[in-house]
Structure 1
Amino acid sequence: MTSQLPFSENVKVRFRDLDAQGHLYFANYLVYGDEVLGAFMEQLGLDIMDPLVAPCLIFTVNIHCDYINEVGGNSEVRVAVGYSRLGNSSADAVFELYNSGNGTLLAKGGLTQVFVDPKTRKSIPIPPFYKANMLRLQPTLAD
């Protein structure tokens, strides 16, 4: 199975990522999705690693994950990310985890991001350059 999402990276499942049963600890599915989403956001021009110079902060206000297949240790997963909805001041990001070897879908989920002014901590419109870059890679979001 292959993803239709615009960005992906491989992530090596490390021993420290596992639970006592030898498979990926449930919260780490979210960590993997968030890490790759952060790399995608940087590719789209939004560097939020330095809050003193970032044009906005991004608050995650909702997150969910559906676990479909087990992820064992000493494996590699391909994490695909993109957006499923763009609003005025919020966006829904989605992620999918696949077995890098055979393409099996392992998990899928999403989160809602709210774009926030760093000083007032109130929601603001999605920065225009960032929204334009999202739409360039995912034009169907404009519908």
Structure 2
Amino acid sequence: MVNAAYTGQIKVRFADTDANGHTYFGSYLVLADEVVSEYLAQVGWDGGTDGDFLTFTVNANIDFVGECMAWDILEVSCRFTKIGNSSCALEFEMLNTSTNEVATRGSFTYVFVDKATRKSRPIPQAIKTAIIAAQPELAG
């Protein structure tokens, strides 16, 4: 992925595969989320469990480009593509390091909500500032 803000690796476990022996389609989102969560933690976003907000994943998209098998190592690259008042979007790409081919491309959209009311609320300024510090192209 060009201009990735964060890249991490994750191994496809046997439990992530289906009866055909390749990675089950739903497992790709879980694997991507594991690495994306590392980036979110890096910018100080813990999911809101300690604050007055929560984040809901309101959209997840994925395109399947290649195949992965048990024990393949995936290099997951990600970056935010949009940061708004109460929501943000992030894209990811998964490279199968065993074949050096892209396995998937996708995105997640998150909305920040008030923990008590479950209504949309602004992204906490500390998180917004950290995201923009990691990705200055999102400023403005």
Q: 1:79 to 1:92 in 2, by over 3 A?
A: same
Which residue is equivalent to 2:134? 137
CA distance in 2, matches of 1:3, 1:15: 30
Q: For the Cα contact (< 8 Å) 2:43–2:134, is it kept in 1? A: no
Asked whether 1:58 is paired with 2:36, we answer no
User: Does 2:31 align with 1:32?
Assistant: yes
Question: Would you say 1:9 and 2:5 are equivalent positions?
Answer: no
Q: Is 1:109 the equivalent of 2:94? A: no
Indicate conservation of the 8 Å contact 1:10/1:100, yes or no.
no
What is the alpha-carbon distance in structure 2 between the residues aligned to residue 80 and residue 103 of structure 1?
14
The alpha carbon displacement at 1:103 in A equals 3.4
Aligned residue number for residue 68 of structure 1:
65
SS of 2:120's partner is coil
8 Å CA contact retained: 1:33, 1:81: no
Alignment partner for residue 77 of structure 2, among 54, 76, 80? 80
Query: Aligned equivalents of 2:86 and 2:44: distance in 1?
Result: 17
SS at match of 1:64: strand
SS in 2 for 1:78: strand
CA gap of 1:54–1:130, structure 2 versus 1, over 3 A, is: same
1:103 and 1:140 map into 2 onto residues whose CA distance is 28
- 2:9–2:74 CA contact under 8 A, matched in 1: yes
Q: Number of residue pairs matched?
A: 140
- Cα distance in 2 for residues equivalent to 1:10 and 1:3: 17
The runs of 5 or more residues in structure 2 that have no matched partner are none
- State the superposition RMSD in angstroms: 1.5
| Contact 1:116–1:124 under 8 Å retained in 2 | yes
Q: Distance in 2 between matches of 1:57 and 1:108?
A: 26
- Given that 2:112 and 2:121 are in contact with CA atoms closer than 8 Å, whether structure 1 keeps it comes out as yes
Q: Which amino acid aligns with 1:98?
A: L
Alpha-carbon contact 2:10-2:73 (below 8 Å) kept? yes
